[in-house]
Amino acid sequence: MTTFLLIIHGLMAVALLGGLTHQAFAVLWPARATGGFTSAYRAVSAARFTNANITFYVMTFVLGAVIYPPYRIAVRTWIERARLWHISGLFEYKEQALAIGLAMLPFFWLVWRNPKDESMASARKWTTAILCVIVWYSFIAGHIVNNVRGLFGQ
Amino acid sequence: MNVTKVFGLFAAVFAIAYTIAFEWHWELFSYHPRTGEFGWGQQASKGGPVMHWYGAIATGFVAALAVSAAALPFTKTRSLPLWLGWAVPLACILVWGWLLRGFFLR
């Protein structure tokens, strides 16, 4: 069951990663003209990603919280015994950043509520960029930890 | 009263309270994953690992809700700075990099 949930957690993280990266690119590096792939990638209606990104963030977070105890027992204990401190540290940083990011979601929703509101432009860029970096870091760190010692690995 | 006016403050207070709760062991509760038990506050090991993450998040949310609720009446006449919502969480994330440096410098 834990492995199944871990896979769902990973798939949701992929969806979140895609949506948030689209939104971040669109707001930080808006397309001036429609042309090639990079312009088309940035020429999305960024505000439309907001609710989906919040939903995926919360769902991925909750699933991660559900499968955390098996990780704590089966994986982290092994990582500590193996003295792989930097791997353990990667995960520690991930959990702290994600928790702080979770509480930023209402503000993230607020700054995207009216994307034409110029008074929030700077906050919109920063908030989206911070969440995007948190999610990218967490995705990579989670992958590394899983590759070092997957759940139930022997 | 417009609740959305304190969303930035909520993010800021959560980031600070969560960091303090974790660092100073002010978690609301602890969880023993091997036995499935919960206990109030910072708990010692009961023959297995103890998880403080859920409790620190709970502390952060309670503090953020309390401060945001207390600040709500003041937002009728004045606006809170928007940078609270991103700069304080960003600063706390950087502080966490410093707090966890021991993992990477061993």
Q: For chain B, what percent of residues have pLDDT higher than 70?
A: 100
Looking at residue A135, its pLDDT comes to 98
Contacts of A33 (CB under 8 A, 6+ apart): A39
Give the mean model confidence (pLDDT) for residues B21-50: 91
Give the pLDDT band of residue A151 (cuts 50, 70, 90): low
Give the mean model confidence (pLDDT) for residues A114-142: 95
Q: Are A137 and A97 in contact (CB under 8 A)?
A: yes
- A103:B93 CB<8 A: no
Q: Which of A91, A96, A148 to mutate to test the interface with B (most CBs of B within 10 A)?
A: A96
Give the mean model confidence (pLDDT) for residues A73-91: 89
Q: For chain A, what percent of residues have pLDDT higher than 70?
A: 95
pLDDT higher for A145 or B12? B12
Give the mean model confidence (pLDDT) for residues B41-68: 93
Task: Give burial (CB, 10 Å; 0-12/13-18/19+) of A154.
Answer: exposed
Looking at residue A150, its pLDDT comes to 64
pLDDT reading at A131 higher than 60: yes
pLDDT reading at A74 higher than 90: no
Task: Give burial (CB, 10 Å; 0-12/13-18/19+) of A153.
Answer: exposed
Rama region for B30: left / alpha / beta (φ>0; ψ in -120 to 50; rest): beta
| b/e sequence A132-149, b meaning 16+ C-beta within 10 Å | bbbbebbbebbeebbebb
Q: Which of A100, A108, A132, A133 to mutate to test the interface with B (most CBs of B within 10 A)?
A: A100
Q: Are A108 and B19 in contact (CB under 8 A)?
A: no
Strand (E) or helix (H) holding B37: strand B37-40
- Pick B86's closest partner by Cβ from A65, A69, A123: A123
Looking at residue A133, its pLDDT comes to 98
pLDDT reading at B6 higher than 80: yes
pLDDT tens readout for residues A13-28: 999 999 999 999 999 9
A84 touches chain B (CB under 8 A): no
Q: Model ipTM?
A: 0.94
Coil, helix or strand at residue B15: helix
pLDDT tens readout for residues A85-103: 999 999 999 999 999 999 9
Give the span between the Cα atoms of A144 and A147, in whole angstroms.
5
Task: Give burial (CB, 10 Å; 0-12/13-18/19+) of B47.
Answer: exposed
Give the mean model confidence (pLDDT) for residues A75-90: 89
Looking at residue A15, its pLDDT comes to 96
- A86:B4 CB<8 A: no
Q: For chain A, what percent of residues have pLDDT higher than 90?
A: 67
